[in-house]
Amino acid sequence: MLALGLLLVVLSVGSLAYLLLVEPRVAVERRSIGPVTRRGSMEAVSDRLVSAVDVVLRRRGWVPFTAAELELSGVAASVAAVVTAVLVLGASLCAATTLLTGNVLLGLFAAAAVPAAAKLALVVKGSRRRADFAGQLQDSLQLIAAALRAGQSLARALDSVSREAPTPMSSEMARVVNENRLGRDIVVAMHGTADRMQNEDFRWIADAVSIQRQSGGNLNEVLDRVSETLRERAAIREKVKSLAAEGVYSALIIMALPIFVMLVYVATNRTYAAILFTTRTGLIALGLGLVMYVIGGLWMRSIVKVKV
């Protein structure tokens, strides 16, 4: 096992050295138009890896991280760049774990945990961004209504929100305004934002604007009524959260208890805890425990999560 780990490290180091030292046969001056900017070796290696991964992803037609997920979580890198970073980190963690423990299965498990952790991080960041958007919606609606009372159009009101509101509201409103400038209907752009943010309240605002267009009337009064409705919904939502807080914290304690017990065993009796990582039976039990842990966590999440 140790020899296999050393072989993986040697192969990775050799591949890196080849990419760093071997230059293309055609000079960069002959392959470029205009002035040539010299780039560092590490940056060139990174570009090559990302390009190779991008080609593979395009051929397979499947990606573990979509561009919409990256955009929602605020990651500016491309899909190929994120996949490359996950692959490199997973291979490095696999080699390091194999060298330290002498167990290839444990190294493969550590490598598999990297894409799962990356996916979870994107989901958490996306959920947090959606929650921030929902929390900023009521204040932003008041800004829109104030701008409309001042005689501005809806597009100008949304532009004012994009310049004055915090992130992510500012970026989402800027996107709506830019799409409208490019010829897309502003209601359709608002519905797209509601779908991306998974926010029914903003969908109500878009529907109110659409109904006002068809039936006429004062948009200020319509938005004021919508704002009052959203305020009542927010109050009910906060009341439900306070009532469900006990169940949420109970679920968090139950989920943290197995990890805490494992850390206690590792600190007090490392030989006893090492059985889970050094024997086949222990690894099987650990894998089954993790599967049941995830299933139990999702089950408790579905119980304590109340949708209003």
**pLDDT score of 24:** 45
| Residue 268 lies inside a defined structural domain of this protein | yes
Domain that holds residue 174: 128-228
Are residue 261 and residue 299 in the same domain, yes or no?
A: yes
At residue 74, the 3 state secondary structure works out as: coil
pLDDT band for position 16 (cuts 50, 70, 90): very low
CA quadruple 249, 254, 257, 259: dihedral positive or negative? negative
| Residue 203 lies inside a defined structural domain of this protein | yes
CATH of the domain at 139: 1.20.81
pLDDT band for position 38 (cuts 50, 70, 90): low
Are residue 103 and residue 156 in the same domain, yes or no?
A: no
Q: Which of residues 125, 154, 179 is at a domain's end? A: 125
| Residue 34 lies inside a defined structural domain of this protein | no
Residue 26: count of CB within 10 angstroms of its CB: 8
Are residue 106 and residue 142 in the same domain, yes or no?
A: no
Q: What average pLDDT does the chain have?
A: 80
pLDDT exceeds 80 at position 156: yes
DSSP conformation letters of 245-264: HHHHHHHHHHHHHHHHHHHH
pLDDT band for position 29 (cuts 50, 70, 90): very low
Distance CA 205, CA 229 (A): 11
**pLDDT: is 160 or 104 the higher one?**
160
**pLDDT score of 233:** 82
**pLDDT score of 31:** 46
Per-residue b/e over 153-188, b at no fewer than 16 CB within 10 Å?
A: ebeebbbbbbeebeebbbebbbbbbebbeeeeebbe
**pLDDT score of 142:** 86
Are residue 63 and residue 114 in the same domain, yes or no?
A: yes
CA 72 to chain centre: 6
pLDDT band for position 82 (cuts 50, 70, 90): confident
**pLDDT score of 308:** 59
Residue 261 in tokens: 């017990």
Angle between helices 154-164 and 186-197 (to 10 degrees): 40
Tens digit of pLDDT for each residue in 210-255? 888 888 777 888 888 888 888 888 788 888 888 888 888 888 898 8
Are residue 87 and residue 138 in the same domain, yes or no?
A: no
Q: Which of residues 125, 150, 173 is at a domain's end? A: 125
| Residue 83 lies inside a defined structural domain of this protein | yes
| Residue 233 lies inside a defined structural domain of this protein | no
Mean pLDDT, residues 72-81 taken together: 81
What type of residue sits at position 29?
E
pLDDT exceeds 80 at position 202: yes
Are residue 117 and residue 45 in the same domain, yes or no?
A: yes
Q: Which of residues 109, 125, 141 is at a domain's end? A: 125
| Residue 27 lies inside a defined structural domain of this protein | no
**pLDDT score of 179:** 92
| Residue 25 lies inside a defined structural domain of this protein | no
Q: Which helix (H) or strand (E) holds 281?
A: helix 280-304
**pLDDT score of 20:** 42
| Residue 252 lies inside a defined structural domain of this protein | yes
Are residue 200 and residue 248 in the same domain, yes or no?
A: no
At residue 34, the 3 state secondary structure works out as: coil
Place of tokens 């039976």: 281
pLDDT band for position 18 (cuts 50, 70, 90): very low
Tens digit of pLDDT for each residue in 90-141? 888 888 888 887 778 888 888 888 888 888 888 899 989 998 998 888 888 8
